[in-house]
Amino acid sequence: MWVEIFCGLIIYRLFKCFFYDDDVLDLESSDFNALFSVADRLEKLYGGKVYVGLRIPDADTGSRQNIDMVHVNKGEAVVISVKNISGFVSVNSDGSWVCEGGSKHKAERFPDPVAETKKQASILESYLEQRGVALPEGYFSCKVVLPNPKFGTLQSSSFPSEVITYDQWVQLKPEPKSMFSGWIKGAFRGGKKEMQESIHQKLNFTLSTAPMLDRLELKGNKYVLGEFLDFKGKQEDINALKNIRRSKVSRLIIQKTSMFGLAHSKLQVLYSPRDYRSEGATGSEWEEVTVRSSTEVLFQPDNSAKVRKFKLSSVVSLTLSA
């Protein structure tokens, strides 16, 4: 009997190793995926550009302030906090939230999300001023988006106007006049067209070069934000990847090359040398190396003390912040 159990465990471990990718499975319900889902929908609905995973220096505390996303369009910009909350949520008199019946099976408390988002907007404005981008009053507004279909509340009227509940989120429709007309109040729309164009260009350039979390894209349209640490694998492969360092490379893409019989499959790693003068790279600027599929990426997800290992074969791309 014990022999059968032992053999069964071995078979289970082998099956799990070859047919399941733990790195992907563990992140199926990740909040990171909600961020990119919201960003993608906003760009499709209203155009403009969404910057995800900003880490803005806070001059008052000397630390970095994480901002989920900033949506920029001509004449206005929105600092957006995404709360991927499941369960029934109620609002306390002090603005804090209590969620019950969620995935953790116990009551969770959240500090006032609207106040937190407004604070983030204030820190971002100060950072932009330091970099020479002076925005007119009212240019920035704030929103808190609740995109989880398992979100519920008995008192939707108790939420501030800055909160977009799930029911409101799914009913949003494109509006031709302005990015968020109808649910952003006080956004700047006046002034000369030339001034607006200048502010828009400066803002986009500054945000595109602002500190951000590293972005790991996995197969199945899954994402992880955090910090890339290093590669792990055979010394030959590590040597091939030695040029992929934050100071030298901005992005890399993983492609499978071939598998012949029982031979190890190989992966083609395309990487773009960092160019501080512009965004991205043209096709001619990409360089490439080939490594074993067993090579791993060491990555520390944001808000996690644990370093994770991701098989390079499960990775689609890796974007490194400067």
Tens of pLDDT along the chain (322 residues) come to 545 555 554 554 544 444 444 444 343 447 899 999 999 999 999 999 999 999 999 988 889 999 999 999 877 899 999 999 999 999 998 999 999 876 666 788 999 999 999 999 999 999 999 999 988 888 899 999 999 999 988 777 889 999 999 999 999 988 665 444 444 443 334 445 555 778 889 999 999 999 999 999 999 999 999 999 999 999 999 999 999 999 899 999 999 875 554 455 889 999 998 876 655 554 458 899 999 999 999 999 998 889 999 999 999 999 999 7
What per-residue confidence (pLDDT) applies to 1?
A: 53
The owner of tokens 């961020």 is 35
pLDDT value of position 124: 96
Q: Are strands 151-152 and 87-91 parallel, antiparallel or unpaired?
A: parallel
Half-sphere exposure of 268 (CA within 13 A, CB side): 9
pLDDT value of residue 274: 83
What pLDDT does 62 receive?
A: 85
Between CA 206 and CA 212 the distance in angstroms is 12
Q: What is the DSSP letter of 131?
A: T
Q: Return the pLDDT at 8.
A: 52
Q: pTM value?
A: 0.82
DSSP string, 61-120: TTEEEEEEEEEEETTEEEEEEE----EEEEE-TTS-EEEESSTTSS-EEE--HHHHHHHH
- Of the candidates 184, 182, 180, the residue with the CA atom closest to the CA atom of residue 141: 184
Position 156 scores a pLDDT of: 76
